[in-house]
Chain A
Amino acid sequence: MSSITTPVEGQDPEAVAHAHHDPNLRHHFATAEQQFDTVKIGIWLFLATEILMFGGLFAGFAYMQNRFPEAFFLGHKHLQQGLGTLNTVVLLISSFTMVMAVHKAATNKRKQLIVYLCITIFCAFVFLGVKYIEYSTHYYECMLPGKYYCNPEDPTGHQFIFFSFYFMMTGLHGIHILLGIVALSWLLRRAIRGDFSSSYYNPVDAVGLYWHLVDIIWIYLFPLLYLIR
């Protein structure tokens, strides 16, 4: 029984040779390009799972809205469209800065990468801050999820269902923003340490994709919750 040890046909021998010295190359990959492509597949699959998870909530929302259209309409009027719009803009800006961050990582511009990561994190905090303001308002008006709802002005008797979904969906989304902040901070630390270069910026790319997804989910949430006709 024998097996092969020579370089493999179809692979650039220099890339393979270089691969053995590259500290960022995991041992089971033959080349950095193979590793990069694999990470991309992995993160896209992960995004698909997130879409399906939120998709369940969207389906549930649609079903309930269909059952209680008036309650949902009246409920949404208590949301502050201005703040919601502000949050949308903030997230869009953060997506843009994230794109720039990936670009800078890919072109070896370390300092600018750090700046863009900082702005992205800052935007995320702004988003959470605005949500905190909104949640506080709802708290004072006692427009809370499920059995804790006690706002007296509700002619339909079912507005609490709208708020149940509102809190679940924005809450889950907010948790994802929080996790995104953690991921971005990790990236920031590594960027400051000088881990990224044009030949290795997979994590920046991956977190970038995740961040865009979090943004896109908000792009669907915002009109659904705030702008119902």
Chain B
Amino acid sequence: MADVISAPFQSGVAPVRQRNYLTEPKGIKSWLTTLDHKRIGIMYLVSVMVAFLVGGVFALLIRLTLLNPAHTVFGHKLIDAQTYNEVFTIHGVVMVFLFIIPSIPASLGNFVLPLLLGAKDVAFPRLNLASLYLYWTGGIMAVTAIVTGGVDTGWTFYTPYSTSTNTAVSLMAMGIFVAGFSSIFTGINFIATMHKLRAPGMGWFDMPLFCWSMYATSLMQVLATPVLAITLLLMVVERVFRIGIFDASLGGDPVLFQHFFWFYSHPAVYIMILPGMACISEIIPVFSRKTIFGYRMVAFSSLGIALISFLVWGHHMFVSGQSQTATVVFSFLTMLVAIPTAIKIWNWLATLFHGSISLETPMIYALSFLLLFTIGGLTGVYLAALSIDVHLTDTYFVVAHFHYVMMGGSVMAFLGALHYWWPKMTGRMYNERLGQIAAVIVFVGFNATFFPQFVMGGQGMPRRYYNYLPQFEPMHAFSTVGSWIIAAGLFLTLGYLLASLRKPYDAPSNPWGGKTMEWLTQSPPVTENFEGQPIATHGPYDFFPVGTH
């Protein structure tokens, strides 16, 4: 039996690869009816990038509106309070449901999961295509809602405001309902794939850690998203039929909505971060040329986070009127979820330490993640502490906290992984120098935008505020300038990534010297992924010469 061990660093060797998943079969119809997880992943990638762009433009508009208390730019008032409320709602809805939740799992995950496992496809390719169409349908419904009336409830849709306002809430909610099924089906697909389609020789603890985190994410997608579905359905039915479940004047309870909503939406935020952690677990060992420290604990901590995530939803509701007993219990459990999270950070640091580190773009993003997610996570501890949360909830402190974990965490990881797998997906190397520069620009811009928001929040600046006290103007202005820096970095990134597509194929099969199975096949891969069935004969992070361990 021949052995399968990836070659050490390759460069300059360009196998013949004109025949690959991109070039054949040809034609739009072949793409729209494809069952190839790689093509589906690419279509998702383009879609989530469009969503990111739309959400980002709305973010820039938010920050521009808050540049000064008069909301003027060169003397012209941009938008009024009602429009502003719609803008931040759309920013939130698009970013949460159409960008971050699908981003890593559906685009990169779809592409790379079967390759990491040495499989030919995901378990249910037709279900995968259905996922994509559901996502597009939900997205179109959401965009229609935006364009035909807007939505002004905030992405959290709290009742009774959401059941009484005149904006296009129902259509938006049904759009998210549909897109939610896309998420559920992806979760089902990934779990089944990991159970049954691992390459021979790959036991559960031989899988790359990306897979473990995606497994935990998929569990949450499968178990939590249906609760969102029923919550949105109930909200829409309440709007249309006035059934009385959330409406106080009919005997309902508006806080009940919050319980339903956060029961999904708290696990949802871990659905957003765990895939990011998955990417970090891949990038750090490769660019440190050292095996991951504490493989088992990293794997178990993913499951631990998924489990505890279902038990802490009430920490969004400490001042909402839920029982005090519940509040105390939720605070305690929230402290616990920090523990597996911290464990991961320690393991990644221990992987770096005594490694052989190079700072290509994926690694810069991964190191950014470590720093920014740390801040995000530690500020979460502030919010878990009861007396502190009473002061900080519904202020800019919370806005800063979640942007640090979602953007400083997930999005940095997404960008890092995008660069990491870009050669595999496209067969081209991006411009490394520009990549590094853009990564640093985004890092600087990000901190400039969001760090002042911690300070503002602590000082009492509430969130979702169009008007603000003059004392906050300097920090708001600074934050707005930061947003322009982020935009510059991201547009630069988009630019050089697209530019790389005009080159001929120049990426080797294994540009980074990784040990996982996707590097065994050509860049870009053939449609069947591998020539034959690869067998796992070594671990995913075995960075040492053959025969030494």
Contact = CB atoms under 8 A, between A and B. Distances in A.
Direct contact of A and B (CB under 8 A): yes
Interface of A: 1-6, 8-11, 26-30, 34, 37-38, 41-42, 45-46, 48-50, 52-57, 59-60, 63-64, 67-68, 145-148, 158, 160-161, 164-165, 168, 172
Given A49-B226, A60-B256, A28 B231 contact: no
Given A2-B2, A160-B244, A168-B234, A45 B533 contact: no
A28 B121 CA distance: 6
Contacts of B230: 53-54, 56-57
Given A4-B532, A10-B200, A42-B192, A53 B229 contact: yes
A38 B1 contact: no
B226 A56 contact: yes
B510 to A, nearest CB: 8
B18 to A, nearest CB: 18
A8 B241 contact: no
B534 A4 contact: yes
Given A53-B226, A161-B245, A3 B531 contact: yes
A49 B219 CA distance: 10
11 contacts: A4-B534, A8-B535, A27-B120, A38-B123, A42-B124, A45-B187, A56-B260, A146-B237, A161-B245, A164-B243, A168-B234
A63 B227 contact: no
Main secondary structure of the interface of A (DSSP, over half): helix
A51 B442 CA distance: 43
A48 B531 CA distance: 37
Task: Classify chain B's interface size.
Answer: 35 or more
Given A42-B188, A42-B192, A28 B241 contact: no
Contacts of A49: 184, 188, 222-223, 225-226
Contacts of A41: 123, 191-192, 195-196
B530 interface: yes
Contact of A9 (B120, B191, B200, B231): B200
A4 B192 contact: no
Contacts of A3: 4, 520-521, 530-534
A56 B222 contact: no
A146 B121 contact: no
A55 B226 CA distance: 9
* Pairs of residues from A and B, 5 with the lowest C-beta to C-beta distance, nearest first: A164-B243, A146-B241, A5-B532, A56-B230, A53-B226
A52 B229 CA distance: 10
B121 A161 contact: no
B103 to A, nearest CB: 21
A111 B117 CA distance: 42
A60 B234 contact: yes
A20 B40 CA distance: 25
A38 B2 CA distance: 29
Nearest to B234: A60
A52 B251 contact: no
A1 B7 contact: yes
Contacts of B187: 45
Interface of B: 1-2, 4, 6-7, 10, 114, 119-125, 127, 184, 187-189, 191-192, 195-197, 200, 222-227, 229-231, 233-234, 237-238, 240-245, 250-253, 256, 260, 509-510, 520-521, 528, 530-535
Contact of A5 (B10, B251, B510, B531): B531
A126 B135 CA distance: 35
Given A28-B197, A41-B196, A164-B241, 9 more contacts: A37-B196, A48-B223, A55-B226, A56-B260, A57-B230, A60-B245, A63-B256, A160-B244, A164-B243
A53 B200 CA distance: 36
Nearest to B185: A46
Nearest to B224: A52
Nearest to B247: A146
Given A37-B196, A52-B226, A161 B243 contact: yes
Contacts, number: 150
Contacts of B256: 60, 63
A204 B245 CA distance: 39
Contacts of B244: 146, 158, 160-161, 164
Nearest to B187: A45
Given A1-B7, A4-B4, A38 B226 contact: no
A51 B175 CA distance: 22
A148 B241 contact: yes
Nearest to A67: B251
B224, B234, B238 interface centre (most CB from chain A within 10 Å): B234
Contacts of A10: 200
B534 A38 contact: no
Nearest to A34: B196
Contacts of A64: 245, 252
Q: Give the most central of B188, B528, B534: most A CB within 10 Å.
A: B188
A194 B121 CA distance: 28
Contacts of A55: 226-227
B123, B253, B521, B528 pick with most chain A CB within 10 angstroms: B123
Contacts of A2: 2, 4
A56 B530 CA distance: 44
A9 B223 CA distance: 36
Nearest to B531: A3
A8 B226 contact: no
Contacts of A158: 244, 251
A4 B1 contact: yes
A166 to B, nearest CB: 10
Contacts of B520: 1, 3
Contacts of A52: 223-224, 226-227
Nearest to B510: A1
Contacts of B123: 38, 41-42
A206 B226 CA distance: 20
B263 to A, nearest CB: 8
Name, among A2, A5, A29, A55, the residue most crowded by chain B CB atoms within 10 Å (CB to CB). A2
A147 B242 contact: yes
A92 to B, nearest CB: 25
Nearest to A42: B192
B170 to A, nearest CB: 14
A55 B231 CA distance: 11
B76 to A, nearest CB: 44
A48 B226 CA distance: 9
Contacts of A30: 533
Nearest to A160: B244
A47 to B, nearest CB: 10
A164 B244 CA distance: 8
Nearest to B520: A3
B58 to A, nearest CB: 30
A68 B187 CA distance: 38
Given A46-B188, A145-B243, A4 B533 contact: yes
A145 B121 CA distance: 46
Contact of A4 (B196, B231, B535): B535
